[in-house]
Structure 1
Amino acid sequence: MPRAIKNLLIGGLIIMTMGVPAATTANESKLTIVNPPNLGDPTPNGYSTAVIVPAGARMAYISGQGGQDSTGALSPDFAVQVEQAYANLRTALDALGARPDQVAKLTVFVVDHDMSKLGVLTQNVTAMFGETLPAQTLVPVPKLAIDPMLFEVEAVVVLD
């Protein structure tokens, strides 16, 4: 191989590897929550405006978790379903070896949403996430996959 080409290849490898992020330390693997003051404080409603994921982080996506208990039964009560869905989400996080403070984004689906349901939703989110509230979107829907389902939550998780 001619020397000029060999030097270009070596130089190219150096340039290419300069853009590769180094391994993150424990502090660098944390999510950064951003709540711009000019958008108002979303935390009383149980979410953050934006969450920055560290460079090079591995991501996991948890499918929608409904309010079914371990036998597959669904309570007809909205609050019971929401509480069980968050318990199911916690079980999925545990299976990944993840904690709630690693959840960057939630999407929740609520059948026949109205403002009376926000208190139940906020209570359950803050119980699980405390002050480390993920970004979140609520999508009102007429129906979910199984007729008695009233609530479903899916998550995007940053793994250590």
Structure 2
Amino acid sequence: MRIDARTITNPPALHDPTPFGYSHAVAAPGELVFVAGQYASDATGAPLPGDFAAQVELAFDRLNSALEGVGLGFEHVVRLGTFIVDHDTGKLEALGKALHARFGDRLPAQTLSGVASLALPGMLFEVDAVAVRPSTQR
């Protein structure tokens, strides 16, 4: 008999991701929580228009909703993966501003990938995360 110990969470504050083939957050047995890529989206998952900086801010707002959906916050994030369409160094200022607004000087490890495109037309930025659930929440 197979036992699925994962806890899948799709917070009501975010669009239903299952038609797109993923879940917003998955807690593994123990302490790790994996949050799928979040982007500037509406209630249906359609990308919202906006410049790069606006999309970065909205993506981090969506990440916050996903974390809150599993009882965590930015202080629990240990790793980020960020994806920037047509990356250039000019976009680092907007990303840095968003990161420092949410993490202060306690920044998580991060890998930034410049990409030609993302999953849906109009997406300019996406962020995924790995968080650690405190031992008091296990």
Instruction: Name the SS of the counterpart of 2:78 in structure 1.
Output: strand
Q: Which has the larger radius of gyration?
A: 1
Distance (Å, rounded) in 2 between the aligned partners of 1:127 and 1:70:
24
- The structural deviation recorded for 1:68 is 1.1
Aligned length: 105
Give me the whole-angstrom Cα distance separating, in 2, the residues matched to 1:76 and 1:119: 17
Of 90-99 and 73-82, more deviation after overlay is shown by 73-82
Unaligned 5+ segments in structure 2 are 1-28
For residues 110-121 of structure 1, what are the structure 2 equivalents within 5 Å?
Answer: 110-121=84-95
Matched, 1:82 2:52: no
Q: How far apart, in 1, do the equivalents of 2:47 and 2:107 lie?
A: 29
SS in 2 for 1:84: helix
- Compare the two structures and name the one with the higher helix fraction: 1
- Name the residue aligned to 2:101: 127
2:10 matched to which residue of 1? Answer: none
Q: Select which of 59, 63, 66 maps to 2:36.
A: 63
Residue ranges of structure 1 left out of the alignment (5+ in a row): 1-55
Contact 2:81 2:129 in 1 (8 A): yes
Q: CA RMSD in A?
A: 1.5
Q: TM-score, normalised by structure 1?
A: 0.62
Find the aligned partners of 1:67 and 1:119 in 2 and give their Cα distance. 18
Give the percent of matched residue pairs that are identical in Structure 1 and Structure 2: 44
SS at match of 1:98: coil
Cα deviation for residue 73 of structure 1 reads 4.5
Tell me if the contact between 2:35 and 2:129 (Cα under 8 Å) persists in the aligned partners.
yes
* Structure 1 residue identity aligned to 2:64: R
List 4+ stretches of structure 1 deviating above 4 A: none
Aligned partner (choices 71, 74, 86) of residue 100 of structure 1: 74
